[in-house]
């Protein structure tokens, strides 16, 4: 395999998580009698451009299927984040009725509905039918396609270049990052702005966030690598913000390379922080696999001990994070009886690989488990508030990453 950006040979492995089905390929009852397709889940490091990337096995249309079950609006915290962003960027760029906003991977309209409400023309680009249907029900125009150079060129020729292009948690999800970035350049109006949010590679390494690794995440990104990819396609990173979302993310602001705007001091500060952490050397990557083993072994030991003690362990959040952990550890329903999720699109289904049933949150009240594992640990405060009632029977919360904690 060659690097997806620069074409260099990939000689170094960050982590090998065995094999697993796609993390959002939830199963119906009829699927339980059929085999599942699993793919190797191995991450490699490019020692030239330092793009960290999964090995090539699964195509995007095998991962982002019409019944894709991730709906952004399920998280109230994420909705607040989206509303605050829309308000901020509208003021900052002076967006109005004459402007045009494109969101790539617009999901269920969680963000663009704010622009619709403000009377700002917008377009969502979303290939998964389930979420696109939800967005269109909110009055958001949606193109049901994967974004890249070809689609962007059609938009440009149709006079539909954007004043603002938004990509929240999509840049890491694209298999051809060069084609996607070229598309951003083509679809962006002269003087326009791009904002992309993605989990920061630095945080993944520092906090051993291996459960954020799954097939849908093709890339694990640093600001240094994103700046290189932008530059290769006539774009420039002009500003960056550190965000607490998803365990530590970056929001980068981009524009055409020839744009007269100057770069903020924040760009240089983050690049220095990455360099100080050694992200352009192999040093911070070497011990990652060993730390991952320790987390997996600690979590498995905890579940076995509770089983032997006659305790019941359930979980909350049928998230991709949980699926990575469960499938790597080989956990089945005998150790973790069920997982609850607020999304009706997941309830009544089963987690891929582990085949643990997904139930509505009221199942916690009915079964009164001794422990509830919170898989989306980045939302642990929000979830503990939602299910605070487990304290009534002495129930306790558990997170497994970056280390086992019983709360």
Res. 130 pLDDT band, cuts 50 70 90: confident
pLDDT score of 58 more than 60: no
pLDDT tens per residue across span 168-194: 999 999 999 999 999 999 999 999 999
Q: Which pLDDT score is estimated for 274?
A: 98
Q: Which pLDDT score is estimated for 73?
A: 64
Domains defined for the chain, CATH in brackets: 72-285 (3.40.50.150), 288-406 (3.40.50.720)
What whole-number distance in Å separates Cα of residue 300 and Cα of residue 352? 18
| Report field, pTM of the whole predicted structure over 0.85 | yes
Q: Which pLDDT score is estimated for 56?
A: 80
Residue 318 neighbours by CB under 8 Å, 6+ apart: 26, 339, 340, 341, 343, 346, 349, 351, 358, 375
Residue 244 neighbours by CB under 8 Å, 6+ apart: none
Q: Give the closest residue to 317 by CA, choosing from 391, 376, 366, 368.
A: 376
Cα–Cα distances in angstroms (integers) from residue 260 to residues 191, 192, 269, 395, in the given order:
9, 11, 21, 57
């Amino acid at each position: 395999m060659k690097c997806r950006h620069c074409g260099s040979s990939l000689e170094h492995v960050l982590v090998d998580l065995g094999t697993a089905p796609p993390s959002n390929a939830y199963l119906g009852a009829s699927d339980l009698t059929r085999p599942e397709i699993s793919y190797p889940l191995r991450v490699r490091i490019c020692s030239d451009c330092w793009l960290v990337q999964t090995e090539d096995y699964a195509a995007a249309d095998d991962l982002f299927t019409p019944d894709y079950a991730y709906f952004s609006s399920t998280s109230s915290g994420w909705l607040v984040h989206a509303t605050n962003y829309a308000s901020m960027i509208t003021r900052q760029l002076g967006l109005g009725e004459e402007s045009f906003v494109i969101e790539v991977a617009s999901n269920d309209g969680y963000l663009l509905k704010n622009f619709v409400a403000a009377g700002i023309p917008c377009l969502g680009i979303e290939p998964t039918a389930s979420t696109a249907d939800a967005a269109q029900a909110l009055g958001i125009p949606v193109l049901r396609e994967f974004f890249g150079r070809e689609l962007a060129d059609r938009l440009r020729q149709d006079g539909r270049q954007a004043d603002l292009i938004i990509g929240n948690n999509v840049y890491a999800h694209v298999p051809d990052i060069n084609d996607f970035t070229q598309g951003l350049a083509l679809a962006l109006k002269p003087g326009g702005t791009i904002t992309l949010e993605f989990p920061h590679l630095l945080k993944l390494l520092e906090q051993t966030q291996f459960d954020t690794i799954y097939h849908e995440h093709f890339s694990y990104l640093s600001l240094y690598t994103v700046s290189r990819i932008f530059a290769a396609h006539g774009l420039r990173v002009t500003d960056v913000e550190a965000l607490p979302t998803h365990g530590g993310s970056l929001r980068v602001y981009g524009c055409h390379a020839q744009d007269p705007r100057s770069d903020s001091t924040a760009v240089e500060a983050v690049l220095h922080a990455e360099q100080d952490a050694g992200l352009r050397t192999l040093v911070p990557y070497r011990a990652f696999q060993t730390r991952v083993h320790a987390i997996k072994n600690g979590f498995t030991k905890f579940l076995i001990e509770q089983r032997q003690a006659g305790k019941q362990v359930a979980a909350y959040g049928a998230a991709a994070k949980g699926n990575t952990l469960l499938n790597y550890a080989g956990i089945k329903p005998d150790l973790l009886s069920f997982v609850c999720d607020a999304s009706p699109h997941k309830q009544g289904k089963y987690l891929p690989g582990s085949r643990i049933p997904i139930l509505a949150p009221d199942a916690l009240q009915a079964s009164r488990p001794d422990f509830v594992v919170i898989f989306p640990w980045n939302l642990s405060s929000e979830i503990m508030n939602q299910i605070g009632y487990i304290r009534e029977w002495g129930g306790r919360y558990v997170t497994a990453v970056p280390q086992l904690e019983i709360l």
